[in-house]
Structure 1
Amino acid sequence: MTTKPIYSKEWNSVKEADRELMVSRHNFRKTSNFLEQILLALNDISQQQRALEWIRDERLSDSELEILIPIIIDIAVDGNIDRLPYAREVLFNNALNSNDIIRKKLTSMFDDFLKSEDDFIYMRLMELLRFLNYNDLRKRLIDKCKNSTDENIVDVYTSFLQYRGWL
């Protein structure tokens, strides 16, 4: 005969709160204004991380991706450093199932990122391209960095040279 474990009221409280959160997320996803609410949250610095956390594991439709991906790419490249990993996860988790929407959106935004001449943006962009395995775009960025007259931008190139296989 086995004895049934006795959990503390705190454990049971956490378990119940987790269940309620899952139900809330499920109900929120089914609302007619889900996309609008996520867009609002992504455009509000104080709510971005929560929004990214909530959609990180979502299987977003192509029409939802068309709207959300430019904002998420911008967060992944030029956003708050604390939110970069969440934005990258959303992109990565949807990249395989998105009918190339992420690649197309990033490609259409790519020249604007290059025009920025900002070493921080270049570094984040290089990391994102490596993360998503978009080698053709990464090569364009490498060439831009390598041929720059700005020492900080050349440093982006040399810093990635130090990591084998990153270039």
Structure 2
Amino acid sequence: MTAAFGTQGTLGPTLQYPKSEEIAPQLMRVLLEAIYDSHGLVVPAISSSTACTSPPLYPKQYCLGPDDMKAQGLAHSLDAGTTPTTAERVKWVDEYANRFEAIVTALTSQLIRGGGWASLNNETVAKTVETMAGVNSRKVGEKALWKIQSECEAGIDPGALALSIR
């Protein structure tokens, strides 16, 4: 809802509803995030996230507190043989998961809109399909990378995995 001053200083409210091309992809994102987060391998989350607040969906050991998050900015040198903290591992996994989502969303968008006469012209459906593909790739990548991180004693050197599209 917005309010604007009209002629002669009168206040004229304007009611607006959420547009379907904005709300449908966000609902799809929330649905898929909830499904992936409630099943299978648990990737730790910050203590203020929905999964860690009352009533908590995650066990306490999977919720990173403020002290863990402060340590996230301090990068350990893997060359020195130090083990990265859980928060550093989560940050690394999250950075790559963000890249997976961005790449898959962009490619899906190109496939949907670049199909010429076969392209999908309904913007709401197109954005929802893009979001669905991107979030699926993010969550699958997140769980796969966390599985790798949790099985490696010292973790994976973030420089060892190169992900780029040229």
Q: Per the shorter chain, which TM-score range?
A: under 0.3
TM-score, normalised by the number of residues in structure 2: 0.25
Which structure's residues are more often strand, by fraction?
A: 2
Q: Which structure has the higher relative contact order (CA within 8 Å, separation 6+)?
A: 2
Q: Which has the higher helix share?
A: 1
Task: Select the structure of larger CA radius of gyration.
Answer: 2
